[in-house]
Amino acid sequence: MAVTLDDKLVVAISSRALFDFEEENRVFDPLDPRAYMELQQARLEVPAKPGVAFQLVKKLLAFNTAHARNVEVVILSRNDPVSALRIFRSAKEAGLPLERGVFTQGRDPFRYLRPLGAHLFLSANEQDVSEALALGFPAARVLTESVAAGVDYPHELRIAFDGDAVLFSDEAERVYQAEGLEAFQTHEISKAELPLSGGPFKPLLAALHQLQQQAGASGMRLRIALVTARSAPAHERAINTLMKWNLAVDEAMFLGGLEKGPFLREFEPDFFFDDQTGHVTSAALHVPSGHVRAGIANPPLVVDETTARRKPKA
């Protein structure tokens, strides 16, 4: 019988999102990668330090048991096969049971998301994340400058999402950008019973909901928060949308434009996703964060050809 990942939550993650390779990355040159490869080879016996998404991955893998593997984490990296040795050795040293990886040595890795059936792609490479989102996969650029996760609740995974342009479409955000707050509120009140279309991270929320139902034997819990700039009365449409989807969150924060960082610091998520650079930069001062380059708040990414040839490792 062929091996399949169809019944699992699949997370694809780059090496820089999982481990702290910022020092190594400073010597990377795609036109001559030998210095980078030699440095990684020289450090084969030196376990890499945890990166921004390390705790998220560690807790996701804790949902697996000897009898049921509900989560699969796959390294999907621009690294070379030699560097893969250090990545897998570092994972083993850290107690992460990773088995699968795709290493492209500079080529675009996002093309492998489809055969993996990935529910999430985390990378430090903005272009790769943008391409993954364009293909319909939930994806976020990990802010490598984010602080590490705070207090570790070993048996509870906490994830926080923004609403518009992340869990939901950017329909309402477009009204706000074009016509202002009053028009936004009027629009949302008039459509309070009409569910919003799904945003790029709706499939991940659905997969996490399924994981919650399977979690029993692992002893792990999953707590999800919606952290949004919406306020009453626009909150109604967000809640009604989740109800119509038959999906739920454990906490909802309708902050009406207040800075999200201090609230996230109290929730202590293992990861937070937001589409607006201001919000996610603020959040990164308090919690591990990822930028979802989707919706009207994010203009198309313009790639300079010279810069493109010197893409950082991911």
> Which residues form the catalytic set?
162
CA distance 137 to 132: 5
| 168 strand-pairing partners | 164, 198
Give me 112's structure tokens: 């492998």
Q: Among residues 201, 155, 161, which one has the least CA distance to residue 63?
A: 155
CB 295 within 8 A of CB 130: no
CB 140 within 8 A of CB 292: yes
Give me 308's structure tokens: 């493109």
243: three-class secondary structure by DSSP = helix
Residue 9 gets which letter from DSSP? E
